[in-house]
Amino acid sequence: MGNATRLVALDRAGMAAGLRPGLTLADARAQVPGLEVYPHDPHADLDWLEALADGCVRYTPSVAVEPPDALVMDIAGCTHAFDGERFLAADVERRLMRRGVLARHAFGDTPAIAMALARFAGVPAPDEARAVKRLPVAALGLDAEDTAALARAGLKTVGEVMARPLSTIAARFGEQAVTAVRRLSGEVAAPIVARPQRVPIFAERRFAEPIARTDYALEVLNGLATDIAGQLDQRHQGGRRWEARLFRADGQVQRLRLETGAPTRDVALLARLWRERIDALADPLDPGFGYDMVRLDVVLAERLDATQLKLEGGAGNEGGDVPALIDRLSTRLGKARVRRFAPRDSHIPEQAELSLPAAGPQPTATTAWPTPEAGEPPQRPIYLFDPPQPIDAVMAEVPDGPPKRFKWRRTSHEIARAEGPERIAGEWWRRHDAAIPTRDYYRVEDRRGRRFWIFRHGLTEEVDDPRWYVHGLFA
Amino acid sequence: MVESHILERLRHMAAVGVRAQTGSAADSWLAHGLARGKLHEVYSSADEAACGAGFAIMQAILAGATPLLWLRIEAVERSGGRLHATGLAELGLPPDALIVALVPDAPALLRAGADAARCPGLGTVLIESSGPMRGLDLTATRRLMLAAETSGVTVVSLRIEAEPVPSAAATRWSVAAAASSPLAADAPGLPAMDIELLRRRGGPAGARWRVEWDRDTTSFRGAALSGAGLPLAADRAAARHPPAPVRRRSG
């Protein structure tokens, strides 16, 4: 059908103006010049539909999403709270209306019948079976060719198709047409695929008398953690992110959050981490008139199977392993301060490696570390200045050569040995705006044996008076 | 009871490792690295900090004491430059075996150091500090030493531009830069340094070495004994080289 931009959905005003989905944008603009159009975003639509499905949990635990535009709810046994299904449906529509969403609903014995009725129902019918029979053949959900063929054969409604022997329909339209007919007649029930419900894991404790000591609140928190560890154990899960909320008697809520690198349900470890978190707070916790409730939530849980204990008895791991240490330090210092290194594909020295938070899952490296050349002294320093530090009073024998002496941090350095230049040009394919001066790097050693990595910023033909910098220090 | 005590000792030995002390104890670091499960101190001046750090790294590689946790104060990171894993890899330390933690101040440094020293999963904890450190006194070093002995983690306290103060460390070293033996076209050669054993628990100190670090063979070698890789005795090195100019300030 070409590459024309087409309308996917319309609001009520658009429909009233005579536009229909599938119309090309050019035609639509010709009919309604002031048409407001937005690009079609199926993913966002699906997200929104899923959010609605989450909201529908108030009616029934079993809600299924039928993309692109439908929700199926199994309301068997769930209507008593609303005095019957009519009122439940009215409640759904009222809530949606408040958000400006126009919804159609239908009830059916099976999800397929309800879907067909909701999408295609026109004339009201005394009962469900007759309502289904009055549906147009499009409600069978066959492809466009088969639907057109049915219409051409003179079959306009589902009822007319049902009246035919199924064998002839199977012979003409194949297996799936028969299945579609049987679905709508209620003979075959496709089960509802309910969205998995994530039941939140939490524990809370209320106090008749507010508690005024932070230490006691911590003890309570540990008690709650024990409770939660039991819940997690049953699910074979461990918590990755935790949130503790301390509800103060005057209505304030203090939140403490924790994150661990690996899922855990180790109560002693959590107790240590909470202690760290509280110690790391800029302002200490202020109980005020006391806390009257403490609640602990597992915000994110991941699979964690039971671990084998050590053979001679005792716990499998006394909290002495490195990930636990990284978690502790990350909790205390902040995640960004505990780091590991990862290689990066760049020849600019300061961009050739990344330092990433050591806590949490490690990304798989896409590039490898460069392997040092055998027999060569180190070509890269162990300390790198970022930004490079300017040096003064540089004396070079020849304009393109290494310096004979330079001054850095109030000390004069007489160069005894030098190697270079190692020429490192800017990544011209990344930036097009300005010419980046080339850097000429030299490994130099002064008379005392101190080794530096220095560079001249710019060639003599690029820059009039190129500056020199110390970029790193060698061992 | 007795059995459980023996079991406890065996477990400790398994964790810490039993080393056969062969040859001169003062020389064993050249071949095997610093003794594991101890606290060591390395001193160097501010403009030779890279040599001090390099020495600590080389010792960790020699002893096979990785992973290495490097604790630094943020201010030191700003003034002294950040760690460059590519350069450390060229000394022989795999970047995967390196974790860096930046701490805001000296008390936090000591606290993180004490925690890390208790973690048997680590090989080396490198505590880098600059200038005088009031908190790093006899008590604190004793605590670090005890933690190191229990867990088997080698703790290296890298002291930049600092005066030695009484401590419980097993050894104390002074590291200074030394002129390398030049390669072709007068290019700087392998990392070279002058090393002095300032103090050693239960043994004589004062020996000096001039060594080069060879990454390919993972060994130190004497600068004057070109490429032979011979073991270097303390007195011979001292005889061949006049004492290296290790600067110590008076007062």
Residues B96 and B66: beta-carbon distance below 8 Å: no
Residues A102 and A18: their CA atoms lie apart, in Å, by: 18
Residues B180 and B194: their CA atoms lie apart, in Å, by: 10
In angstroms, what separates the C-alpha of B35 from chain A's closest C-alpha?
21
CB contact under 8 A, A339 and B177: no
Both tokens of B166, joined, read 């009484």
Which residues, 6+ apart, have CB-to-CB distance to A15 below 8 Å? none
Select the residue from B66, B77, B84, B216 to test the A interface by mutation, using most A Cβ atoms within 10 A.
B84
Which residues, 6+ apart, have CB-to-CB distance to B8 below 8 Å? none
Residues A374 and B133: their CA atoms lie apart, in Å, by: 40
In angstroms, what separates the C-alpha of A96 from chain B's closest C-alpha?
51
Beta strands A291-303 and A338-343 are unpaired
Q: Look-up: residue for tokens 């005579």?
A: A18
Which candidate from B47, B50, B188 shows the least CB-CB separation from A443?
B188
Task: State the total domains in chain A.
Answer: 4
Domain end marker among A120, A154, A185:
A185
Residue B120 lies in a domain: yes
- Identify all chain A residues contacting B183, using CB atoms and an 8 Å cutoff: 377, 419
CB contact under 8 A, B50 and A475: yes
Q: What is the pLDDT of residue A433?
A: 54
- The enclosing H or E element of B146 equals helix B138-151
What residue type is A115 in one-letter code?
M
CB contact under 8 A, A372 and B215: yes
A103 with A221, same domain? no
Residues A406 and A454: beta-carbon distance below 8 Å: yes
Nearest to A244 by CA among A210, A275, A221: A221
Which residues, 6+ apart, have CB-to-CB distance to A449 below 8 Å? B176, B177, B178, B179, B180, B192, B193, B194
In angstroms, what separates the C-alpha of B184 from chain A's closest C-alpha?
10
Name the DSSP class of B180. P
Q: What is the pLDDT of residue A118?
A: 87
Q: Is A46 exposed, middle or buried (0-12, 13-18, 19+ CB in 10 A)?
A: middle
A130 with A60, same domain? yes
Q: What is the pLDDT of residue B227?
A: 33
Closest CA in chain A for residue B121: A321
- Identify all chain A residues contacting B187, using CB atoms and an 8 Å cutoff: 417-419, 443
A169 with A70, same domain? yes
Residue A356 lies in a domain: no
- Identify all chain B residues contacting A353, using CB atoms and an 8 Å cutoff: 84-86, 95
Which residues, 6+ apart, have CB-to-CB distance to A407 below 8 Å? A391, A392, A393, A394, A413
Residue B3 lies in a domain: no
Name the DSSP class of B127. E
Select the residue from A279, A369, A382 to test the B interface by mutation, using most B Cβ atoms within 10 A.
A382
Residue B189 lies in a domain: yes
CB contact under 8 A, B95 and A353: yes
- Identify all chain A residues contacting B51, using CB atoms and an 8 Å cutoff: 450, 475
Residue A1 lies in a domain: no
Residue A173 lies in a domain: yes
A17 with A47, same domain? no
CB contact under 8 A, B121 and A353: no
Residue B19 lies in a domain: no
- What is the torsional sign of CA B139, B80, B49, B153? positive
Both tokens of A417, joined, read 């040995």
Residue A211 lies in a domain: yes
- Identify all chain B residues contacting A404, using CB atoms and an 8 Å cutoff: none
Which candidate from A370, A419, A447 shows the least CB-CB separation from B188?
A419
Residues A420 and A443: beta-carbon distance below 8 Å: yes
- Identify all chain A residues contacting B74, using CB atoms and an 8 Å cutoff: 337
Give the DSSP per-residue string, A339-371: EEEEE-S-SSGGGSEEEEESSSPPPPPSSPPPP
In angstroms, what separates the C-alpha of B224 from chain A's closest C-alpha?
15
| Beta-sheet strands, E only, within A161-275 | 201-211, 237-248, 253-264
Residues of chain A with pLDDT under 50: 1, 313-319
In angstroms, what separates the C-alpha of A343 from chain B's closest C-alpha?
8
Which candidate from B74, B86, B191 shows the least CB-CB separation from A377?
B191
CB contact under 8 A, A320 and B118: yes
Select the residue from A272, A367, A451, A452 to test the B interface by mutation, using most B Cβ atoms within 10 A.
A451
Q: What is the pLDDT of residue A318?
A: 46
- Identify all chain A residues contacting B241, using CB atoms and an 8 Å cutoff: none
Residue A261 lies in a domain: yes
Residues A304 and A149: their CA atoms lie apart, in Å, by: 55
CB contact under 8 A, A475 and B182: no
Least confident residue range of B89-93, B164-168, B237-241: B237-241
In angstroms, what separates the C-alpha of A279 from chain B's closest C-alpha?
12
Select the residue from B68, B90, B110, B247 to test the A interface by mutation, using most A Cβ atoms within 10 A.
B90
Q: What is the pLDDT of residue A338?
A: 93
Residues A438 and A455: their CA atoms lie apart, in Å, by: 10
Residues A426 and A464: their CA atoms lie apart, in Å, by: 18
Which candidate from B67, B86, B191 shows the least CB-CB separation from A475?
B191
Q: How confident is the model at residue B249 (pLDDT cuts 50, 70, 90)?
A: very low
Residues B37 and B209: their CA atoms lie apart, in Å, by: 24
Report angle CA A393, A395, A398 to the nearest 5 degrees.
150
Residues B83 and B98: their CA atoms lie apart, in Å, by: 10
- Identify all chain A residues contacting B189, using CB atoms and an 8 Å cutoff: 377, 417
In angstroms, what separates the C-alpha of B25 from chain A's closest C-alpha?
26
CA R_g for chain B: 18
Task: State the total domains in chain B.
Answer: 1
In angstroms, what separates the C-alpha of B174 from chain A's closest C-alpha?
14
Chain A / chain B CB contacts < 8 angstroms: 195
Q: What is the pLDDT of residue B162?
A: 92
A35 with A149, same domain? no
Closest CA in chain B for residue A354: B85
Which candidate from A321, A377, A382 shows the least CB-CB separation from B83?
A382
Q: What is the pLDDT of residue A130?
A: 84
In angstroms, what separates the C-alpha of A219 from chain B's closest C-alpha?
23
The CB density around residue A168, as the number of other CB atoms within 10 Å, is 9
Residue B52 belongs to domain with CATH number = 3.40.50.300
- Identify all chain A residues contacting B213, using CB atoms and an 8 Å cutoff: 475
Residue B75 lies in a domain: yes
Domain containing A448: what range? 383-473
Closest CA in chain A for residue B68: A322
CB contact under 8 A, A381 and B98: no
Order of strands across the sheet with A237-248?
A201-211, A291-303, A237-248, A253-264
CB contact under 8 A, B84 and A383: yes
CB contact under 8 A, A449 and B50: no
B/e letters for A203-216, b = 16+ CB within 10 Å, e = fewer, are bebebeebbeebee
Residues A471 and A285: their CA atoms lie apart, in Å, by: 44
CA R_g for chain A: 35
Residue A341 lies in a domain: no
A47 with A181, same domain? yes
Residue A346 lies in a domain: no
- What is the torsional sign of CA A270, A276, A280, A285? positive
Residue A121 lies in a domain: yes
In angstroms, what separates the C-alpha of B155 from chain A's closest C-alpha?
15
- Residue B229 pLDDT > 70: no
- Identify all chain B residues contacting A321, using CB atoms and an 8 Å cutoff: 119-121
List residues bridging with A242 in a β-sheet: A258, A298
- The enclosing H or E element of A225 equals helix A214-235
CB contact under 8 A, B87 and A352: no
Q: Look-up: residue for tokens 């690029």?
A: A462
Which residues, 6+ apart, have CB-to-CB distance to A173 below 8 Å? A142, A146, A149, A150
CB contact under 8 A, B50 and A419: no
Domain containing B43: what range? 38-220
Residue A325 belongs to domain with CATH number = 3.30.1490.100
- Identify all chain B residues contacting A342, using CB atoms and an 8 Å cutoff: 95
A178 with A123, same domain? yes
CB contact under 8 A, A473 and B50: yes
